[in-house]
Amino acid sequence: MSTRDRLRIAMQKSGRLTEPALELLNRCGLSFRQSRDKLFCFGEGEPVDLLLVRDDDIPGLIAQGVCDLGIVGRNVLSEFSLGAGPEADLAEWRQLGFGRCRLSIAVPQEMAYEQPAQLAGRRIATSYPGLLGQWLRTQGIDAGVVTLAGSVEIAPRLGTADAICDLVQSGGTLVANQLRETDIVLESEAVLAGPRNLPSDERGDMIDLLFKRLDGVMQVRESRLLLLQASRGALDAVTRLLPGGPQPTLLPVAGQPDQFMLQALCAGEVSWRQLEEIKKAGAREMFVLPVEKMLA
């Protein structure tokens, strides 16, 4: 292990996770100097740098200690963990809520498929032999696994496989290749991966700080702050209509002893319809504000 004192995070160089991952890091107060076509991005302000690589390389880079953390799909992380020995003990430290997709079995549209047992004795093409093998074992199915690095979806047409096990997001690739999704092997999303034992030096402190900021960002991502005024008599009815969240705060309004300003953190979007209902219950001067940062 090197004696680096700056934290190094690996992420996908160009792909579906790149933009949202960078945006998330920016929201955590991290910004980077190098342009994105470079492999290495030097962090400004905080001692955190980025390594832009192929997503499949990310777990290995963490396991080797070249990077401290990585932003990667659960599918890639799990596949690596199944293939690597116990010495490469990686953990999924945070779920990041983007890059949602699933690793699924798909069969040719015309195949009469009802249950996984029908896959017995068939050949299934995949880039995820570890995850597929594990799923087949739990289903008690003996099938052939054809490992391909890419273009898995054309294997049935080429005659090199009878079914596939591949990532599905919109489903567009399956439709384009006349395939039908039948079983979900793994639900995936982008995660923050790292070693199970985190460093206990300055890098460990930085990881701690990053986790706290990330938790704050994730928590407020969908949150709204609702502000309104109501008279004492209307407070109960108004409060009952508030979207879920912690107890609202009441503030007195100067010079109007019967009036209150109410402040509530709402877990999700507040719709026009909800606002109109709350107004009918006696609220006035209503504002819905996005929440930018939160530190618990």
Q: Which residues bind ligand PRP (CB under 6 A)?
A: 15-16, 150, 153, 166-173
Q: Classify strands 31-32 and 43-44 as parallel, antiparallel or unpaired.
A: antiparallel
Nearer to ligand PRP, 68 or 153 (CB): 153
- The option from ligand PRP, Zn ion, none interacting with 219 (CB < 5 to 8 A, set by class) reads none
Nearer to ligand PRP, 148 or 288 (CB): 148
Q: What are phi and psi of 45, to 5 degrees?
A: 80, -85
Nearer to Zn ion, 188 or 229 (CB): 188
Helix (H) or strand (E) segment spanning residue 213: helix 202-220
CB 55, min distance to Zn ion, A: 5
Nearer to ligand PRP, 117 or 149 (CB): 149
CB 7, min distance to Zn ion, A: 24
CB 167, min distance to ligand PRP, A: 4
Q: Which of 270, 271, 265 is nearest to 293 (CA)?
A: 265
Token readout for 56 is 């499949």
DSSP assignment of 73-126, as one string? Answer: EHHHHHHHHHHS-TTS-EEEEEE-S-S-EEEEEEEETTS----GGGGTT-EEEE
> Rg for the chain (alpha carbons), in Å?
25
Q: What are phi and psi of 118, to 5 degrees?
A: -70, -10
Tokens 């990686």: give the residue: 90
Q: Is 174 helix (H, G, I), strand (E, B) or coil?
A: helix
- The option from ligand PRP, Zn ion, none interacting with 108 (CB < 5 to 8 A, set by class) reads none
CB 21, min distance to Zn ion, A: 14
Nearer to ligand PRP, 54 or 280 (CB): 54
Residue type, 235: L
- The option from Zn ion, ligand PRP, none interacting with 249 (CB < 5 to 8 A, set by class) reads none
CB 269, min distance to Zn ion, A: 32
Nearer to ligand PRP, 68 or 79 (CB): 79
Nearer to ligand PRP, 190 or 264 (CB): 190
Read off the DSSP letter of residue 267.
Answer: S
- The option from ligand PRP, Zn ion, none interacting with 167 (CB < 5 to 8 A, set by class) reads ligand PRP
Stretch that binds Zn ion, among 3-11, 54-62, 193-201, 251-259 (CB under 5 A): 54-62
- The option from Zn ion, ligand PRP, none interacting with 169 (CB < 5 to 8 A, set by class) reads ligand PRP
CB 150, min distance to ligand PRP, A: 5
CB 98, min distance to Zn ion, A: 16
Q: Which of 268, 265, 260 is nearest to 284 (CA)?
A: 260
- The option from ligand PRP, Zn ion, none interacting with 95 (CB < 5 to 8 A, set by class) reads none
d(CA 83, CA 102): 20
Q: Is 249 helix (H, G, I), strand (E, B) or coil?
A: strand
Query: For the sheet containing 179-188, what is the strand order?
Result: 144-147, 123-126, 163-168, 101-108, 179-188
Q: Is 33 helix (H, G, I), strand (E, B) or coil?
A: coil
CB 170, min distance to Zn ion, A: 16
Nearer to Zn ion, 55 or 79 (CB): 55
**Where along the sequence are the contacts to Zn ion (CB under 5 A)?**
55
